[in-house]
Amino acid sequence: MTSATPDLDRFDLDAAWRVGSGLVQTGRAAQHPVVIVIWLGEQRAFHAALPGSSADNDRWAERKARVVRRFGRSSHEVGVELVGDDLTAFLTAFGLSAVEYAPTGGAVPITVRGALVGVLAVSGLASLEDHELALAALRAERDRPEPADVRGA
């Protein structure tokens, strides 16, 4: 799976519910002990904690999301392309705290026509698995057929 984050035509609270609920279904079916969080701007638009997850997963999701907000890229991409094998050098270069930022997979930007409007974060699995779950959920939303307009019917 590529790391390219899909660009959406729109994303609102209803979309946050669809994406989050879809991830809950996927997580439950696979018995993934994950936390799923979606922010629109600064508003926490969706949150779910599945069996086996913990408050630590919530904290990881927040730390990953800060990376997305700071760099405008997925936390996975930042980890691979900017951090490499030297987390300390990365944190020092950008004046960041390891307590507040986690450049590891699982948080992806939600973009609408190129503009960052929110963050989707998954935490509880291996870093790359968290990342892939989040990307798959946004791709499903992007590829979802638009409902028919029944206003004139």
pLDDT in tens, the chain (153 residues): 345 899 999 999 999 999 999 999 999 999 999 999 999 999 999 999 999 999 999 999 999 999 999 999 999 999 999 998 899 999 999 999 999 999 999 999 999 999 999 999 999 999 999 999 999 999 999 999 876 655 655
Is the entire prediction scored with pTM above 0.85? Answer: yes
pLDDT at 90: 92
Q: Are 38 and 118 spatial neighbours (Cβ–Cβ below 8 Å)?
A: yes
Q: Per DSSP, what are the bridge partners of residue 106?
A: none
Pick the CATH number of 7-142 from 3.40.50.300, 3.30.450.150, 3.90.1300.10, 1.10.3720.10: 3.30.450.150
Domain ranges of the chain: 7-142
